[in-house]
Structure 1
Amino acid sequence: MMESRKRGKAARARKSRRTGLLLSGVLVAALGVGVCYGLWKGQYIAWPMGGHAGGERQQNAQAQAPKYKQAAEFEMNDLEHGWVRFEDAVMITSDGGMTWKAADAVPELEQASAADEGDMRLLHGAKTITALQYQSREYTVKQAQFWTDRIGWALVNDDGEAGGKLFITTDGGATWKAEVTGEVKEALEREKLLIEQRAAEASRYASAGQAKQAIGSEWYLMPSSVSQGDAVLVRRDKPGEVEWQGKTYALQPSGAGYFTYLPVGTDVKPGDYPIGDQTLKVLAKNFPKQYLQVTEELDSMRQDTKRIDADQKRIDAARSKSQPDFLFTEPFLKPIEGILTTPYGHMRYVNGKLSGSHLALDLAAKQGTPIKATNDGIVALADSLYLTGNSIYIDHGMGLFSQYAHMSELRVKTGDRVKRGDIIGLVGSTGFSTGPHLHFTFWAHNVPVNPDLYFNTTPFQWTDKS
């Protein structure tokens, strides 16, 4: 009888265990398991355990291998805003990927026009890739997008965890990360600043193609072929100096590059000159002769070297300090529409004797004709000088000055900021002058250069001489 009770108890225990397992199976099948964690990072989702055909359960206790959310596509509108789409979810970011949140659908982000986007890719050097390395493993790329030559994102083909990650590179694809760390965020901030600088600089060039060529080059000359008496604007992608005609010119930062003017004096010999990894070609130019007859009293003015030297010291001091950036954004204006009586570079003879080269333009006009500032700048000097009479020098930045002489009246004073087209004075005949006219020229690092280079254009758009 005792044995019969033991057998009954064991049977009831087996029945209880079977009932418990059956109830557990029903509960799992009914409720499912797993929670979605960090969806965009591709962390796994545990799915309900399915049985075999006919309702047969799995016989072993080993858990089914986890499955991962796979990213289908993504888009970064800029270095901060973008989205990633999964099969059943969309995640968006507005801080470069530091944080993500769920969205109902792919957002309609503000997009640049196709032309603008093309210009952007030209400017920033976007690239394409087919594979990437992450944690010592190579993955084929499903989709990639580069905003600059350094910053890019990618999705990879992978059934595992990597398939749900949006990878980012800040070094042009040499290394990739699966999340935006503080170091990555700093790199994004630096790149944002560089993009702003490049965009500001690119607007100065004649076209996106020229901007790409200039910004993408180690050295760039504007232009690379000039005549005697011209000037050259040099761009480099890093700071430094340029040796030219026995002088050293420091490269100053502006936009995304470093710049300086090189004056090509009328005495520079024709030929080819190396500038960094570029070659500057200087072409010969013929300068005609001009003969003037003046009164003995006027001619005697040129003999008072003491007063001339005193003025020159003031002029040199005014032109010795220039703003370390370009102060203009628009093309240069001709100050007056006068009659050209003496072009730049004429060899001038006064009363039969060689006076030297006339390194300016003489534009004859009626007494009192308003004179305009050729471009934005700061008045470096506005005063009455012995030979040039009422004179003005305007600093346009980076060592470039414009000069206005022989005026009857000054309308600005030293230190004034002027805008392109502002009236700064009136035509006159003060100083060493034979009649009402404007003596006008540009000085690049204290060397007079041909004003005809500047009118209706800027140094960023100078073209080669043939």
Structure 2
Amino acid sequence: MPSKRSRLNGRRSRREKNRRLFLYVFYFLVFLLLFCLTGTVAKYFYGGKSSPREPGLFTEDEAAWSAVPFAEETGEIDELEETEILEETEEAPVQPVLSFSSVEIPQGDYFSICLCDLKENDEIVIGTDLGGEEPVFYPYQEGRAALIGVNYRTVPGEYYFQVQVFRDGSSVLDERKQISVVSKEFETQHLTVTSEQQEKRTDVLWDEDRKHTTRARSITAGEPLWEGEFLMPLEGRLTTAFGVIRYINGVESERHSGLDIAAPRGTPVKAANSGKVNLSMSLNVTGNTVIIDHGFNLFSAYCHMDRLLVQEGDMIQKGDIVGEVGSTGFSTGPHLHWTISIGPVFVNPWLFLEKDPLGWITARQEAD
């Protein structure tokens, strides 16, 4: 039978073995844990150089984080696209900005619309209850712009403009703007003419003339050909203002579409601004007539002249002589009938003597 001492030594031996086994297991677990963490720790401190794993074996976040260090290792840094690295920090695309030159427009005046920060292929859609032709936008500076004439017969009141911009099939702007057409007082004029003069302004003759003038005003440059404000075509006496309500032999006639400036026969007539001659011919009602395209659907006309000194297709500068004062067509004496129109809509010429039609856009951009 084992002695008491031998039994005690046996117990101590088993405890020692158990302690050693526990330490072995403990060290093994610690080693295993360190082994698993080695790659992560090295990547954190040394950019992953101690653990050159393939990017495809990383998690999505790890792959994005380690793309540059790994490319440096493999010599493929030049193949990384900058957009891939900065993809998450890109700014949102700039949206178009809509501006109106004015939202209160008297009858017979004009206004303009500007759309800034557009892309080349952006599509503009306009909806309005103002009537007339749909506004046409042309490239201007860093966007597009349109001139819009308000007919002198437009009923005063509120009108809307719905402006939409589509980019790659998606709407990037949808804005509704209200404008007010303000009533304007126009003078009344009574004229008495002979039957011979009356025969020069029949409906048939008007229709023949309109075929030519409509053609001339349907062709325009897609850029401004004018330079700054317009000038008065000649010095003389203003005999009839714009928009005057005329009665001829007691019967209401067409509203006066421009300015009548009386001057001696043969007085030189200057181009109010630079542009291209779209029409130079003798018409039934307006006599010897020149129509100049100033671009952007903006036109000036010079009527009843004695002589025509330019030809269709001529490019002219502001102040060039286009003809001489006369009394051809339906006229009661030597004078120049001068008009400005946006497309077919006649507008007050005085407005163009004061400022560049699109000058407000340039001024605003310079201020910004």
Task: Say whether 1:401 aligns with 2:299.
Answer: yes
- C-alpha distance in structure 1 between counterparts of 2:285 and 2:88, whole Å: 64
1:292 — aligned with what? 191
Equivalent position amino acid for 1:444 in 2 = I
1:87-146: per-residue Cα shift (whole Å, max 9, x none)?
Answer: xxxxxxxxxxxxxxxxxxxxxxxxxxxxxxxxxxxxxxxxxxxxxxxx88xxxxxxxxxx
- C-alpha distance in structure 1 between counterparts of 2:125 and 2:353, whole Å: 28
CA contact (8 A) 1:406 1:438 kept: yes
CA contact (8 A) 2:302 2:337 kept: yes
Equivalent position amino acid for 2:228 in 1 = E
Task: Say whether 1:235 aligns with 2:114.
Answer: yes
1:282-313: per-residue Cα shift (whole Å, max 9, x none)?
Answer: 1100112101111121012222x333322211
2:238 — aligned with what? 340
SS in 1 for 2:148: strand
Equivalent position amino acid for 1:280 in 2 = I
Query: 2:310 aligned to 404, 412, 416, which one?
Result: 412
2:134 — aligned with what? 248
CA contact (8 A) 1:338 1:364 kept: yes
1:434 — aligned with what? 332
2:248 — aligned with what? 350
Residues 179-198 of structure 1 mapped to structure 2, 5 A cutoff? none
1:23-48: per-residue Cα shift (whole Å, max 9, x none)?
Answer: xxxxxxxxxxxxxxxxxxxxxxxxxx
1:269 — aligned with what? 155
Q: Which moved more, 1:336-345 or 1:253-262?
A: 253-262
**Larger RCO: Structure 1 or Structure 2 (Cα < 8 Å, ≥ 6 residues apart)?**
2
Residues 46-445 of structure 1 mapped to structure 2, 5 A cutoff? 175=89, 218-237=97-116, 238=118, 239-244=123-128, 245-246=130-131, 247-275=133-161, 276=163, 277=175, 278-303=177-202, 305-445=203-343
Percent identical: 38
Q: Which has the higher helix share?
A: 2
How far did 1:455 drift?
0.6
CA contact (8 A) 1:408 1:428 kept: yes
Normalised by the length of structure 2, the TM-score is: 0.65
How far did 1:392 drift?
0.4
Equivalent position amino acid for 2:339 in 1 = T
CA 1:327–1:241 in 2, change beyond 3 Å: closer, same or farther?
farther
CA contact (8 A) 1:241 1:251 kept: no
CA 1:438–1:175 in 2, change beyond 3 Å: closer, same or farther?
same
- C-alpha distance in structure 2 between counterparts of 1:241 and 1:438, whole Å: 39
Equivalent position amino acid for 1:393 in 2 = I
CA 1:339–1:317 in 2, change beyond 3 Å: closer, same or farther?
same
Superposed CA RMSD in Å reads 2.9
How far did 1:248 drift?
2.3
- Structure 2 gap segments, 5+ residues each: 1-44, 47-63, 66-81, 164-174, 362-368
- Structure 1 gap segments, 5+ residues each: 1-64, 67-134, 137-167, 178-214
SS in 2 for 1:317: helix
- C-alpha distance in structure 2 between counterparts of 1:266 and 1:462, whole Å: 23
Larger Rg: 2
CA contact (8 A) 1:404 1:438 kept: yes
Q: Matched residue pairs, number?
A: 263
Equivalent position amino acid for 1:432 in 2 = F
How far did 1:174 drift?
7.1
How far did 1:398 drift?
1.2
